[in-house]
Structure formats: C-alpha cells, structure tokens
C-alpha cells in the first residue's frame, strides 16, 4: 500500500465531501492559531472535507481545567527531562487564551524558546461551533494523555477534552 502524504494549511484545504473521518489529536493545529477566526477556519475545513454522514474526532484544550487550575502546578509536574518546560505563563480570562514561553532542547542539544498562544475552549463553545458547521450529534469526553475513551466523563481534572461529532 502506498500512502500519498500531502501538505496543506488546515485553514485552506481543497477537499470537499471526500472523507468519512477527520481526526485532529493533540490539538492538531486547532486551537493553536493566533485568533478565534483562524481556529474556526480549521474546524470549517474539517467539516467541509467530510461526507454527509462523516465524523470528526478532535481533542482540544479544556477551558474548565484551565479555569480551575493554575498552570504553575501543571508545568512543575510536566517539566521532566526531555519534555518542554514553561515560563512566563499568563491566562486571559476574557479570551481564554494562555500565553507562555516553552523552553525545550532540540535533537542537536540546542536550547530553544517558543512563544505560545493557546486557546482553551469550554464544552458549550465547541458544541455551538460544531452545530454552526452542521454537525448533528456532538459528544464530549475527558481526554487522558494517550488513552482516549468514550468512558471518561469530562471533568475539571482533564487538561484536554475529546470531541466526537457526526454530521
């Protein structure tokens, strides 16, 4: 079997009604864009690429988690060797955007810094956005790192949420 990999900007893809399933895990670009409009374009293109009964499976940052927890605690827990560390984290409650600097070491051993701007979403926002795009059935679950399951009810302890939507 030969796989034809293609590279596109997720905000502007040429596919329309060709896929049974679109998968965007580990944010997959959404919600990492600088504006809500750019994030919406990613969702819009995912919906456009689906067939009439197609499904979208995505994970996104859980605004309920961010609302209830400080990022300092999270970053301390996840600053193991080999993982990125975070500094200068600020969370804007009006936009649900977290601005921080990720510090990591590349394969050559050089330390790098990346300024990040990530958008957290609450379940009602995701539901509204997807209904706007024509999805009829939308289920939201808690997302455990590397162990996604429909059995995990979304809580404020879940850093991400798993969204399964059907047109």
Mean pLDDT, residues 100-124 taken together: 90
Closest CA to 143 of 123, 129, 124: 123
Only one residue has tokens 């819009």, namely 44
- Domain of 67 in residue numbering reads as 19-166
Is beta strand 137-144 parallel, antiparallel or unpaired with respect to 97-105? unpaired
**Which residues pair with residue 59 across a beta bridge?**
162
Q: What angle do CA 5, 48, 27 make, to 5 degrees?
A: 60
The tokens describing 85, both together, are: 């560390």
Strand residue runs (E) in 93-136 = 97-105, 111-119
- Residue 4 placed within a domain: no
CATH number of 42's domain:
3.40.50
- Residue 8 placed within a domain: no
Per 3-state DSSP, the chain is made up of helix, strand and coil in percentages (nearest 5) of: 20, 40, 40
- Residue 2 placed within a domain: no
Handedness of CA 96, 28, 137, 51 (dihedral sign): positive
What is residue 68's predicted lDDT score, i.e. its pLDDT? Answer: 84
The tokens describing 86, both together, are: 């975070």
What is residue 30's predicted lDDT score, i.e. its pLDDT? Answer: 87
Mean pLDDT, residues 130-157 taken together: 93
Look at residue 99 and tell me whether its pLDDT is greater than 60: yes
- Residue 11 placed within a domain: no
Q: How many helices (H) and strands (E) would you count in the chain? A: 4, 8
What is residue 96's predicted lDDT score, i.e. its pLDDT? Answer: 92
Look at residue 78 and tell me whether its pLDDT is greater than 70: no
- Residue 90 placed within a domain: yes
Mean pLDDT, residues 26-41 taken together: 88
- Residue 61 placed within a domain: yes
- Residue 25 placed within a domain: yes
Query: Could you tell me what percent of the chain has a pLDDT over 90?
Result: 59
- Residue 131 placed within a domain: yes
Question: What is the count of structural domains for the chain?
Answer: 1
Contacts of 64 (CB under 8 A, 6+ apart): 122, 123, 154, 155, 156, 158
């Amino acid at each position: 079997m030969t796989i034809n990999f293609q590279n596109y900007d997720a905000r502007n893809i040429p596919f329309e009604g060709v896929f049974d399933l679109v998968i965007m895990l580990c944010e997959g670009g959404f919600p990492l864009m600088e504006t809500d409009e750019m994030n919406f374009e990613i969702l819009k293109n995912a919906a456009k690429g689906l067939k009439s009964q197609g499904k979208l499976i995505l994970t996104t940052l859980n605004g309920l988690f961010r609302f209830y927890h400080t990022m300092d605690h999270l970053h301390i827990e996840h600053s193991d060797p080999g993982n990125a560390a975070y500094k200068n984290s600020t969370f804007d409650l009006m936009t649900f955007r977290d601005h921080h600097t990720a510090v990591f070491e590349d394969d050559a051993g050089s330390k790098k810094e990346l300024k990040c701007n990530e958008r957290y979403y609450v379940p009602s926002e995701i539901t509204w956005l997807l209904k706007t795009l024509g999805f009829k059935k939308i289920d939201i679950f808690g997302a455990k790192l590397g162990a996604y399951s429909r059995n995990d009810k979304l809580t404020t302890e879940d850093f991400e949420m798993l969204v399964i939507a059907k047109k």
